Amino acid sequence: MKIEKLTNAISLQRSVDQANENHLETVHEVIEQVKQKGDKALFAYTEKWDGAKLASLQVTKEEVDEAYASFDPQLIEDLKEAANNIRLFHSQQVRQNIDFPLANNSYIQYKISPLDAVGLYVPGGTAAYPSSVLMNAIPALVAGVKRVVIVSPPSKDGKLPASVLVAARIAGVSEIYKVGGAQAIAALAYGTETIKAVDKITGPGNSFVALAKREVFGKVAIDMIAGPSEIAVLADETAYADEVASDLLAQAEHDRFACSVLVTTSEKLAEQVAIEVEKQLKELPREEIARASIENFGCIYIAGTLEQAITAINELAPEHLEIMTEHAEAISEKINHAGAIFIGRFSSEPVGDYFAGTNHVLPTNSTARFSSGLCVDDFVKKTSVVYYSEEMWQAQYPKIARLARLEQLEGHARSVESRSWEKGDLN
């Protein structure tokens, strides 16, 4: 792993757009076909691309029962505990309506209500992570969304991974469809005979899925289209090199484009971590992926001072930040931009990926400067309500009419004045 002196801002020059524009024509065609032919198109594409000839799209209760019964009971307990932690923490994010009384028995209000229906995309194969099912479904359910739907591409035998079905049941989602790719996104956005349209689509996916989400955006809401995962570790001489290295590699094993960065004030630690990374890489099952990530996008930066290191981290606005220094908690207060912060050596990033209760869907590619991880807010909408009594209107309408005329919107002024017009025999 390369070591550099930290001089200027850390830059992450990566190809982060997962949407391959070459697939756009295909995606347009898929969406059009699903809009026109509904389920028929879903069956056809699933046979063509997933190699599965399905009798029906929806996963039955029996299939989930079977997956659940055959699943390791210890893992079911672990998933349940993780789900519970996520549910508890996200429940804290639930907001109440704002009722704001005005003079003259009038009021304004801010009504917070859940979306009606949300679709969660779960990728197939080894990218089908049960933890992602929990992290996407639970905030929606906590928000009060009545209908949460999962779509996921089946394997050739027409099945979904047991871990996805088990996580769905633990999260509380029972409407699950065996369909993936752009066709699944089209079905969620426009609806088919079997799959009713939703209002928002979340969850990660391949290039076809990312492009399809971009295309249906506006018809429905979508979550962010995430880039490759990132971690920055801020460490001083008190950190253990083997621990830092293992954390860098946990990120690197995700994806060739993942980015793991260490910023440290200790030259000794820098050197030891480089050695440890190489040592641990050799023993990692996903060595090839992790090595590509570390070699292309990994770096150890040696900072002259802790302040310089903190400034660089804030510039970077990493998705994940681990702080393994003396006074780590105090230092975390100086971090203005990060998706999630992990304080101290016992809070390694997988604690948040799986278990602590915070969400693991986080802003990548420096967007933590202005955006946030997935949360209950993403599944509600807010409606303003205005009630003016006659007395309140009487007191305020001349001001409103003047402001409208300042903007040369005479019709607006007349609207608010019309209540004073002498009423004829219209009614």
Please list every residue from 101 through 130 that binds a copy of itself, using CB under 8 A.
Answer: 102, 108, 110, 113, 115-116, 126, 129-130
**Strand intervals (E) in 1-137:** 3-5, 98-101, 107-114, 117-121
| Interface pick for a copy of itself out of 89, 136, 182, 228 (rule CB under 8 A) | 89
Nearer to a copy of itself, 155 or 272 (CB): 272
What's the rounded Cα separation, in Å, for the pair 269 and 259? 19
The answer for 97, left when phi > 0, alpha when psi is -120 to 50, beta otherwise, is beta
Q: Is there a binding annotation on residue 407?
A: yes
Q: Is there a binding annotation on residue 23?
A: no
User: In degrees rounded to 5, what are phi and psi of residue 320?
Assistant: -120, 140
Q: How far is the CB of 37 from a copy of itself (least distance, A)?
A: 22
Nearer to a copy of itself, 48 or 369 (CB): 369
- Which positions from 8 through 67 interact with a copy of itself, judged by CB under 8 A? none
User: In degrees rounded to 5, what are phi and psi of residue 261?
Assistant: -130, 135
Cα dihedral sign, 62-165-37-191: positive
What's the rounded Cα separation, in Å, for the pair 199 and 220? 5
Q: 320 catalytic, yes or no? A: yes
- Which positions from 223 through 262 interact with a copy of itself, judged by CB under 8 A? 237-243, 246-247, 249-250, 252-254
- The span of 151-159, 181-189, 294-302, 328-336 binding a copy of itself (CB under 8 A) equals 328-336
Q: Is there a binding annotation on residue 337?
A: no
- Which positions from 391 through 410 interact with a copy of itself, judged by CB under 8 A? 392-393, 396, 399-404, 406-410
User: In degrees rounded to 5, what are phi and psi of residue 220?
Assistant: -130, 165
Nearer to a copy of itself, 42 or 162 (CB): 162
Of 23, 320, 322, 349, which is the active-site residue? 320
Helices 162-171, 61-69: inter-axial angle, 10-degree rounding: 100
Is residue 281 within 8 A of residue 294, CB to CB? The reply is: yes
Give the x-and-dash track for 362-391 against a copy of itself (CB under 8 A): xx-x-xxxxxxx-x-x---xxxxxxxxxx-
Is residue 80 within 8 A of residue 170, CB to CB? The reply is: yes
Say if residue 35 is exposed, middle or buried (CB neighbours under 10 Å; 0-12, 13-18, 19+).
middle
Q: Is there a binding annotation on residue 56?
A: no
Q: Is residue 216 near a copy of itself by the rule CB under 8 A?
A: no
Of 319, 322, 349, 360, which is the active-site residue? 319
- Which positions from 336 through 355 interact with a copy of itself, judged by CB under 8 A? 336, 338-355
Q: List active site positions.
A: 319-320
